[in-house]
A and B are shown apart, each in its own frame.
Chain A
């Protein structure tokens, strides 16, 4: 599964994506974020206020409790500033 990072989150991590294989106990996107944060101190610090982030699964914004099963691309999205 590919995990994408954008904007200042991408800069803080010094990379735009990770290729990961989460263990079976990682069921939801919230589980995935917790698992990723536990493995990576920079991500953990950057996401200290997790409520500001939105998540997408296969290019659709979804809630944090969405199951990851079968997802090929998940993105962690800092607050958006388009328009």
Chain B
């Protein structure tokens, strides 16, 4: 399941629904990304720009690749866009697999790919104005380790 949405969602409720839909999995891993504000450099909001049609296609392709590569029972990605305040959920990834290693690896793979290949752009709202979050080379390195 892929969902690209401006709407808030409840990651616990989503994980429960996802888990209940499968009886084959022995392991479920969830990752939830949150808006954070650092005490030394506070932000009032994170504004996520998105290209929804491309995001849906790319996330679906990344999900299909993860399911095939790690033999997952299922995988889901929910990603928000729009204006979010500190503490809010930005996105979540859930994987279901027979065993824990595949569930962990699948979730890590999905995260590493969507950091660099999903068309979302973060902008931080601070007291002195808006600033774009810069892409990190560590994210490219994290993605590269899955290439074979």
Contact = CB atoms under 8 A, between A and B. Distances in A.
Interface stretch (B8-16, B18-26, B117-125): B117-125
Contacts of B116: 79-80
Main DSSP-derived SS at the B contact region: mixed
Contacts of A79: 116, 134-135
Task: Please tell me the size bucket of the interface on A.
Answer: 10 to 19
Contact of A81 (B54, B58, B135): B135
B122 A82 contact: yes
A78 B121 contact: yes
B17 interface: no
Contacts of A77: 51, 54, 119
Contacts of A59: 51, 53-54, 57
A61 B117 contact: yes
B91 A82 contact: yes
B54 A75 contact: yes
Interface in B84-124: 90-91, 111, 114-123
Name the residue in A59, A75, A77, A83 with the highest tally of chain B Cβ atoms < 10 Å from its Cβ. Answer: A83
Interface string B24-40: 00000000010000000
A1 interface: no
A6 interface: yes
B119 A82 contact: yes
Nearest to B115: A83
A81 B33 contact: no
Q: Which 9 A-B pairs have the closest CB atoms?
A: A82-B120, A79-B135, A7-B121, A59-B53, A83-B115, A82-B118, A81-B122, A59-B54, A81-B133
Given A7-B49, A77-B54, 10 more contacts: A6-B51, A6-B119, A8-B121, A54-B117, A60-B57, A79-B116, A79-B134, A80-B121, A82-B115, A83-B139
